[in-house]
Amino acid sequence: MNLSLLLLRTLLTLTIGAAVAFNAAAQSPPVILVLGDSLSAGYGLPQGKGWVDLLRGKIEAERYGFKVVNASVSGETTLGGRNRLAPLLATHKPAVVIVELGANDALRGTDLATTRANLKAIAGAARAARASVLIVGLRIPPNYGPDYTAGFHALFADVAKETRSALVPFMLAAFAERREMFQEDGLHPVAGAQPLILDTIFPQLQPLLQRVKARAASLSADPAA
């Protein structure tokens, strides 16, 4: 075999391989990345019963065409999430990032400006990676003091507005006053509360999913768009 023929075959092999890889990537479902703490990691719940698991089931059952990746870690703070985000974005290339962080900052008495800055950095990095962002708001008991309590609740809306992200005002709004909906620690919701959490979050998530699908359809119709 002469050198020219060998080079031609090598070039064809590389071209075909690249095309196959490109098509496989194009056919992969867009990713919803959940970056959260124990409230999203399913702390104290039977396997598969957390609200993120229920979201995955809903997405599959209703054929939304997305893959749900749960990157939540019990005990996570906004700083921990900020530090972990870059490799998660690089690995999963999410179309949507759900940010549920801040409760552990409050438990540690973290300065509100620090929590705000970390959440803003997380949302900014996700948006820079071309992901839509959903900020999930939280509240804390009044025993932290009125100023800290009010400031903590307000910072989620502030970050969402500043970063042009979608917002769930309060993750536990549907049952926050019902003690029986929490585990013995009084902090983590029981399995029966998880569908209520999903019902609170999904109405704000759904428009983001529709936007991603609409953009994908537009790009398919006009690759130059």
Catalytic residue of the set 4, 147, 185, 222: 185
Residue 69 Ramachandran class (φ > 0 left, ψ -120 to 50 alpha, else beta) = beta
Catalytic residue of the set 37, 38, 92, 132: 38
Token output for 148: 């800290």
Q: Are 150 and 111 in contact (CB under 8 A)?
A: no
Half-sphere exposure of 186 (CA within 13 A, CB side): 3
Residue with tokens 């479902």: 29
The question of whether 165 is a catalytic residue gets the answer no
Q: Are 132 and 82 in contact (CB under 8 A)?
A: no
Helix (H, G, I), strand (E, B) or coil at 115: helix
Catalytic residue of the set 40, 92, 105, 188: 188
Question: Nearest CA to 80 among 53, 50, 110, 47?
Answer: 110
Q: How many CB atoms lie within 10 A of CB 77?
A: 22
Q: How far is CA 56 from CA 31, 71, 100, 101, 135, in A?
A: 11, 13, 16, 20, 18
Separation CA 107–CA 35 (nearest Å)? 18
The question of whether 188 is a catalytic residue gets the answer yes
Give Cβ neighbours of residue 219 (< 8 Å, ≥ 6 apart). Answer: 225
Helix (H, G, I), strand (E, B) or coil at 114: helix
Catalytic residues: 38, 185, 188
